[in-house]
Amino acid sequence: MKRSLGARLFAGALCFLGIALFLTWLALSRLFESYVNEAYYRELQAVSDTIAAGIRYDAEGLALRREPADPRFQIPAGGRYWQVSGLSAGLLRSRSLWDRDLTTKSTLSRTPQLFLADGPDGGELIMISSPVTFEKNGKSQSATISIGADRAE
């Protein structure tokens, strides 16, 4: 009888430990995913803000004063991409896009959201798209700044 009780207690403890370990793994996985998404969001938003601050709107149209410093924006399929679309003057984009465009997500929100999109090299990108408005001489021009990073990272 003692051996049977001990075996049942041992089996119950193993089941409890297994469930506790599984729930711990699940919670830590979600925390890590949330942390990584927040880190990407902050990084991509910083690049978007840099691009928005560097856009010049004059008689010649829109142009970027200075591209982001990260060299991955210069290398074709370098893993980091930016694009300014929705302009009557055309499309501004990073050299890393080569001759491709980013597929943007139209958003009703005024704040950028993370989403997944197809990348120029066939991979998947983590992206944000931010709506912006530029004004010159009382005329406004709306555009969307999209920033992407390879999800494989």
Query: Could you report the per-residue pLDDT of 65-98, keeping only the tens digit for each?
Result: 888 888 999 998 888 999 988 766 678 889 888 8
Query: Residue 4 and residue 31: Cα distance in Å, rounded?
Result: 40
Residues in the chain: 153
- Residue 69's pLDDT is 87
Query: Could you report the per-residue pLDDT of 91-126, keeping only the tens digit for each?
Result: 888 988 888 888 766 655 667 778 888 888 788 889
Q: Is residue 39 scored above 60 in pLDDT?
A: yes
Query: Residue 25 and residue 62: Cα distance in Å, rounded?
Result: 49
Q: What is the pTM of this model?
A: 0.76
